[in-house]
Structure 1
Amino acid sequence: MLLGGGSVIQVLDLCLDAVIGRDIDAICFAPLNKQAMKLSGMPFEDELQYFADRLKVTNFYSEFNTLGHLWTSRVSSHIPAKDIVSYITKDRIKESARLIYQSLKSAGYALPRVAVAALNPHGGDGGVCGREELDIIGPAVNELNAEGLPVNGPFPADTIFIKARDGEYDAIVTMYHDQGQIAIKLLGFEKGVTVHGGLPVPITTPAHGTAYDITGQNKAKVSATEQAFYIACRMGENYRAQPVE
């Protein structure tokens, strides 16, 4: 595992050098094993943080998960559940909404329709189940609307995905990792894609894991990898069109 993680980091560095140098237009990689990469010396929680450090990113960035025409972003991601509430701030919600809105536009959506999920059960039930919706999430949505970003919410997390599935929204800003991941994977585990949003270059990967338990058994399905490749191609076209700084 140690050697495997080291080789993954070396390959990712080569890919990053190539896309920064405009030798390629986007990166699409197969699932990675975070434990192996950490054992090889990666000092970050995940590959997104590794990419951001390598690319010297200082702005807000976030993993997006996509399934067909539905995208999700996260206000918080790979952190312990007990720490989620500390990440729910107006600034992070607004940055996450702006980022997925602009990323959808770069992926070909002319007028993205973005919804914002609530944090608490039943959207807080008017404060009975929590006040984050009243004190933080709702005001953040209002401020986004005031600056011209057409987002809606907060909506209870157990119903907003039904609206999105039925075509009312193109994207959902979720508050934490499993809030969006469980819904997306139930809707289509074999087709989900992760897009690394907020980076200066397009990077995508299938949303599923490495699945070491079925290695060599001819059971793996390639649908998610195909979709990740197609999204990387679309975003790569926009990256190629940008002027070289």
Structure 2
Amino acid sequence: MKSKFVGITMGDPAGIGPEISLKSIEKKEEYKKSVLIYGSYDILSYYHTLLKLTTPLVQIDSVADFQEGKINVISVVDLQVGRDIEIGQVSPVAGDAAYQYVERAIADALKGDISVVTTAPLNKEALHKGGHNFAGHTEIFAALTKTKSYTMMLWSDRISVVHVSTHCSLREACDMATKERVLECVHLADNAMKKLGKTMPKIAVAGLNPHSGEAGIFGREEIDEIEPAVKQAQQEGLNVTGPVPPDTVFLKAYNGTYDVVVAMYHDQGHIPMKMVAFDSGVNVTLGLPIIRTSVDHGTAFDIAGQGIANEESMLYAVDLGKQFAEG
């Protein structure tokens, strides 16, 4: 039987992660029955007082100790504001702590104690200074779950995007747009959308070059790599179209022509998503043996500690994780 619990990792303790984690559980009564936080209890206690929250905060040792009606915290690292970290400041201590929260949550998910890990944002500079040389959450989850075939999906109720490449240079991204990788991402997109209730997902594959290469005039990646991947996916029975010119594919998806777009690189997919769903977008890592969702924004050091962070993306991330768990 699947666990009913969702574990939120509170992200970089110097950012807005602690605040939005607390606000989310405070806001929804059903979260007080099944959502807990992996983080630092004293940091969360500081914010609990700052935000004047009414739901009691309680520290527990394991998921088995969960207390309904409260904000439950598995305190992974002992930290205090002012003593160990400064709000809004990059530090190796905060970066290492953010990694440890994720590491513990993944371990609990692999054991089956929780069904979903939902992550608040970490700071990549702090992560690296803390000794963890990962490009981001996606790569941490892949490494700690020993997953080889994975990708990032950004979901919203208007458009969803799966990425062929993410955290690499644009030059490297061009080289990663191979037939094999595009086909892999098409399958991951198809599987994900089926779990979300689409029986025959309508998938668009974006081109890499302007006008999808214009018959090779602006580049041959579409002819040599992307189109063969699309044709093979079609032969396998998937409802996929492409390569679709990248300057129009997202508008078509927004208007309902497609359920999901396979984008060739980070900014190609992220820019349209953040234009239409900055506060409601959810980051999902596809291909893992566990479910991982995340907010689709950063640590926002500039507003951390002010009590004004918006928790909407966290609410969407937790709810989407639950939907995947039920799918």
TM over 0.5: yes
State the Cα deviation string for residues 68-114 of structure 1 (Å, max 9, x = none).
14211111110011222211100000000101110111222222111
CA distance in 1, matches of 2:319, 2:103: 22
Are 2:5 and 1:5 equivalent residues in the alignment? no
Report the equivalent of 1:39: 129
* Structure 2 counterpart of 1:74, from 163, 175, 188: 163
Amino acid at match of 1:45: A
State the Cα deviation string for residues 176-234 of structure 1 (Å, max 9, x = none).
00001001111121111100111111001111111110112333211111111110111
Report the equivalent of 1:242: none
Equivalent residues, number:
237
Sequence identity (%)? 37
Report the equivalent of 2:259: 170
CA distance in 2, matches of 1:49, 1:221: 26
Report the equivalent of 1:57: 147
CA distance in 1, matches of 2:118, 2:173: 29
CA distance in 1, matches of 2:172, 2:250: 24
Report the equivalent of 1:110: 199
Q: Which runs of 4+ in 1 moved over 3 A?
A: none
Report the equivalent of 1:22: 112
| Rg (Cα) greater in structure | 2
Are 2:189 and 1:87 equivalent residues in the alignment? no
The 5-angstrom pairing of residues 232-243 of structure 1 reads 232-238=321-327
Amino acid at match of 1:44: F
Q: RMSD of the alignment, in Å?
A: 1.2
What secondary structure does 1:214 align onto?
coil
Q: Is the 8 A contact 1:72 1:172 kept in 2?
A: yes
**Is there any run of 5+ residues in structure 1 with no aligned partner, and where?**
239-245
Q: Is the 8 A contact 1:124 1:130 kept in 2?
A: yes
CA distance in 1, matches of 2:305, 2:101: 22
**Is there any run of 5+ residues in structure 2 with no aligned partner, and where?**
1-90
Q: Which has the higher helix share?
A: 1
CA distance in 2, matches of 1:149, 1:206: 29
Q: Give me the TM-score of the superposition, normalised by structure 2.
A: 0.70
What secondary structure does 2:279 align onto?
helix
CA distance in 1, matches of 2:129, 2:171: 25
